[in-house]
Amino acid sequence: MDARVIIQEALIQKGFGSVGFNSGRLCRVLPSNEYSDDFLKKNILLVRHGRTDWNDAHRFQGRTDVPLNAAGRVQAEKVAARLAGWSVDVIYTSPMTRARETAAAIAAPHGKSPVVLDDLTEVNFGSWEGLFLEQVREQNEERFQEWLLNPFFCMPERAETWDTIRARAERLKETVLRSSYQRVIMVSHGGTIRALFAVLLGFDPRTVWNVKTFNCALSGIEVRKNQSFLAFSNDVLHLDKNLEGIPLPVW
């Protein structure tokens, strides 16, 4: 019997799965639905959408489809200029108009079309959508303070639960891991980006809202199958007027 066949059979019996030889070197053959820690590394840039009139007025937006305002469109152009030189394989976006407008600006210099992922949409704030923060505070000060301390677990009536939010973030993680794309931009929303911090980085969902995520801010995460690393968070250098025209690093 060929020595290579003996080695293959021995390794399979030891639980190494399918193995083979490539140019004389032993290698493991991975099924199409399995990923290898040895070769898997994804760089994800999370981008929050630009400003809207509701952001400026401190109103709960959630699933309400509010477009960018003039300031938000300027922010989108600035983040697009910063990312124009960053090699990207795919640009995913929430289906909400404010996110799609931001993603379109980012995609233009790359000659790409953003890919809509429904799971990138914002958290549904139920009965609070459309209300001003002060309105909610006046209606029920105690409930509002509880929400400020623990948003994902003190949501209003008819709002999305943490279980469904987490499930969306888990599906987004799988989308990235199972794709062939190595450098990914995701344009989303404050609540969903924080949920991704919790799922990708292991942050406590009860305190992850303490992480600030400004409009058109960049956050960089290096993702592997079993571990992820936060490279930077809430980077808004491109929005600083004093830095206009100065090349800024990305990642």
* Residue 251 CB burial class (10 angstroms; 0-12, 13-18, ≥19): middle
From 45, 83, 103, select the one nearest 247 (Cα to Cα): 83
Of the residues 101, 122, 129, 160, only one is catalytic, namely 122
Residue 58 a catalytic site member? no
The alpha carbon of 158 is separated from its chain's Cα centroid by a whole number of angstroms, namely 24
Of the residues 49, 110, 189, 238, only one is catalytic, namely 49
Q: Which residues contact 194 (CB under 8 A, 6 or more apart)?
A: 203, 208, 209, 211, 213
Residue 101 a catalytic site member? no
Tell me how crowded residue 71 is: count the other CB atoms within 10 A of its CB.
16
Which stretch of DSSP H or E encloses residue 28? strand 25-28
Residues classed as catalytic? 49, 122
